[in-house]
């Protein structure tokens, strides 16, 4: 029998993306942390556990020695929703196979990859698990498989789900893994699980495969956050749940007391946190329990950080599609939920929530605390040409009512074995491809850009934008959080830095910004001309008349430069 204390273990994170779970950098999912905690709980010392991302292994072939030499290699990955990623590239099947071939010890794979994998990360074309040459495939919880495997001397395990007592231990004990992530500590956001499973049974979703909602206690989540904060984590996202409002309740009704303990406790154990965001919120909960939901939403907005997004799974505004796919919210109900979130959490920090305007010239220059996001899914059963018109009418209604949504996510269905969409597959999506592309273009042009101008008007300040890559003479970056805005900044700046940015212009789903506060003695011509109302001639005049003793000395007709300069004193530049 192998002594766990003598084992070496390598965890490889190929990244996950699920309806209620992010794991592509800058996110780190729960899977590697829980698995590491389970392995340590089974008796393996922390110092014997090595964690690598797939991008690390691509960048440094020498690190493959950790894969080859480990007594146990655990691969974690799997995508059950389509996505485009900036911070990392999910592992492709050929890479997953190479890991198995490289491992001289026992190899096990787990995570949402158990639902299937095609020849590329493109969704529902081919969802059979190929022969990936692993010794074991965890068809339930990979963390439970890893625990049992270590306990059984690496000789096998029974597929099972972990219980809440195990989760409490493993979540707390696995926090050390974040220190081995290449993005740690400044550009890493920890995905937090508050529950899994769902009370509803939408035709396409894999979340019900985890069963009815199983909630962690507030104390368990808070303890994990505290351990992560002790390891240097500063960014957290309560994303691993079907409905944040149902936390601590019966799976459907809101429980304000539990949410207050959760959010208040997180703030106590991580007082220096820089990001506290969430993801999924069920609009039917807001409609069915409006007063309790309002209280919960107020609690969230009191404790979170600005720019937070509550994803609403409307999926389709077409009643025919709603009925055919057991969707649980109508367009009218979703509209009411959008309105309630705007009323309770659409305020901007810096002003009193009671009377602060959410948009317009008198609004504070920060993103709103919490706004809904709308998920629309195409290729579902019953979809017809009228479906696209229903969806557009709903979005236009929201905009015309003066409401705000942080983002509109339009995607096509991925059909997985075990869901009601399995038999239909991607056939409807393929048949409607041209219609889908035209409709998506119209939404981007007619709704997305004006909505973005409303949510983040020119002059809005985005603190701590991480600079990620260069393209076409500009530098692009994002804040950490749920669905952060992509920001393009004129000029090529040093990557890996963090700067504050003031928004000057808007694309369909991204913005242009300049450093904030903008120093008129240092600003480039490109930065100056990107400000609305400043052309090349005016920008040239500003440059010629340097230096300025303060930003207030720079005056441009019909342009409020203080939005971008902050009216802060600046150091006069020598002639």
Find all residues with CB under 8 Å of 54, minimum gap 6, and list them.
Answer: 12, 13, 14, 15, 77, 88, 89, 90, 91, 95
CA distance 126 to 417: 11
Task: Give me the pLDDT at residue 563, please.
Answer: 87
As a three-state string, the secondary structure of 216-229 is CCHHHHHHHHHHHH
Burial of 537 (0-12, 13-18, 19+ CB in 10 A): exposed
User: What length does the chain have?
Assistant: 575
Chain-centre distance of CA 335, in angstroms?
Answer: 23
Determine how many CB atoms are found less than 10 A away from the CB of residue 123.
Answer: 21
Q: Which helix (H) or strand (E) holds 501?
A: strand 498-506
Task: Answer positive or negative: Cα dihedral of 413, 414, 415, 419.
Answer: negative
* Alpha carbon of residue 530 to chain centroid: 29
pLDDT reported for residue 574: 34
The pLDDT of residue 211 is: 63
Peptide linkage before 60 cis (omega within 30 of 0): no
What per-residue confidence (pLDDT) applies to 418?
52
Farthest-apart Cα atoms in the chain, separation: 81
Domain positions in the chain are 1-184, 193-212+278-457, 460-565
The structure tokens listed for 88 are 């990392």
Q: How far is residue 394's CA from residue 331's CA, in Å, rounded to a whole number?
A: 7
> Distance from CA of residue 420 to its chain's centroid?
26
Q: Do domains 1-184 and 460-565 have the same CATH topology?
A: no
Question: Which pLDDT score is estimated for 251?
Answer: 74
Task: Name the CA radius of gyration of the chain, rounded.
Answer: 25
Residue 291 burial (10 A CB sphere; 0-12, 13-18, 19+): exposed
Cβ neighbours, 10 Å, residue 239: 26
pLDDT score, position 252: 82
Rounded-to-integer distance, Cα 286 and Cα 568, Å? 43
CATH architecture assigned to 193-212+278-457: 2-Layer Sandwich (3.30)
Residues of the chain with pLDDT under 70: 1, 80-83, 115-131, 197-213, 351-356, 358-359, 414-427, 429, 567-575
CA dihedral 143, 149, 150, 152 (to 10 degrees): 140
pTM, entire model: 0.90
Match domain 460-565 to its CATH number in 2.40.50.140, 3.40.50.1100, 3.40.109.10, 3.40.640.10.
2.40.50.140
CA–CA gap between residue 254 and residue 377 (Å, rounded) = 26
Give backbone dihedrals phi and psi of 398, rounded to 5 degrees, phi first.
-60, -45
In angstroms, rounded to a whole number, what is the distance separating the alpha carbons of residues 216 and 509?
A: 35
Nearest CA to 260 out of 288, 296, 229 is that of: 296
Give the pLDDT score at 149: 97
Tell me the CATH number for domain 1-184. 3.40.50
């Amino acid at each position: 029998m192998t002594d766990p204390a003598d084992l070496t273990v390598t965890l490889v994170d190929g990244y996950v993306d699920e309806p209620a779970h992010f794991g592509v950098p800058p996110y780190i999912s729960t899977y590697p942390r829980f698995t590491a905690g389970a392995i340590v709980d089974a008796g393996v010392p922390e110092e014997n556990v090595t964690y690598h991302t797939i991008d690390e292994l691509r960048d440094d072939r020498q690190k493959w020695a950790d894969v080859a030499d480990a007594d146990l290699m655990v691969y974690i990955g799997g995508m059950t929703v389509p996505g485009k990623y900036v911070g990392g590239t999910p592992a492709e099947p050929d890479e997953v196979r190479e890991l198995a071939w490289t491992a001289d010890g026992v190899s096990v794979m787990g995570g949402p990859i158990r639902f299937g994998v095609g020849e590329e990360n493109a969704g529902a074309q081919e969802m059979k698990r190929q022969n990936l040459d692993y010794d074991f495939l965890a068809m339930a919880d990979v963390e439970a498989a890893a625990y049992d495997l270590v306990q059984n001397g690496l000789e096998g395990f029974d597929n099972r789900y972990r219980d809440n007592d195990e989760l409490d231990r493993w979540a707390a004990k696995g926090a050390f893994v974040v220190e081995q992530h290449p993005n740690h500590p400044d550009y890493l956001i920890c995905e937090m699980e508050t529950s899994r499973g769902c009370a509803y049974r939408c035709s396409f979703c894999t979340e019900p495969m985890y069963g009815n909602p199983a909630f962690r206690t507030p104390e368990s989540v808070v303890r994990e956050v505290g351990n992560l904060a002790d390891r240097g984590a500063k960014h957290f996202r309560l994303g691993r749940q079907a409905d944040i409002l149902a936390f601590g309740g019966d799976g459907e009704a809101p429980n304000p007391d539990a949410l207050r303990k959760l959010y208040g406790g997180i703030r106590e154990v991580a007082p220096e946190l820089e990001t506290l965001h969430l993801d999924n919120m069920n609009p039917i909960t807001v409609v069915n329990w409006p007063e309790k939901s309002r209280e919960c939403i107020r609690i969230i907005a009191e404790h979170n950080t600005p720019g937070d997004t509550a994803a609403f799974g409307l999926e389709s505004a077409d009643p025919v599609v709603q009925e055919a796919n057991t969707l649980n919210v109508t367009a009218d109900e979703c509209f009411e939920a959008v309105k309630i979130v705007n009323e309770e959490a659409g305020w901007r920090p810096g002003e009193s929530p009671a009377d602060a305007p959410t948009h317009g010239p008198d609004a504070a220059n920060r993103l709103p605390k919490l706004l809904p996001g709308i998920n629309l899914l195409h290729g579902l059963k019953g979809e017809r040409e009228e479906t696209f018109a229903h969806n557009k009418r709903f979005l236009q209604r929201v905009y015309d009512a003066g409401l705000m949504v942080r983002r509109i996510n339009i995607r096509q269905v991925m059909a997985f074995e075990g869901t009601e969409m399995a038999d239909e597959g991607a056939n409807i999506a393929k048949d409607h491809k041209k219609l889908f592309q035209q409709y998506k273009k119209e939404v981007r042009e007619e709704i997305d850009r004006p909505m973005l101008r409303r949510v983040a008007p020119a002059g809005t300040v985005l603190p701590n934008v991480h600079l990620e890559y260069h393209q076409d003479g500009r530098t692009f970056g994002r804040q950490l959080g749920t669905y952060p805005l992509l920001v393009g900044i004129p000029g090529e700046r040093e990557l890996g830095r963090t700067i504050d940015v003031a928004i000057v212009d808007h694309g369909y789903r991204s913005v242009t910004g300049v450093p904030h506060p903008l120093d008129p003695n240092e600003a480039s011509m490109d930065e100056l001309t990107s400000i609305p109302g400043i052309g090349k001639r005016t920008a040239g005049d500003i440059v010629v008349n340097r230096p300025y003793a303060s930003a207030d000395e720079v005056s441009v007709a019909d342009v409020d430069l203080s939005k971008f300069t902050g009216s802060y004193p600046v150091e006069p530049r020598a002639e």
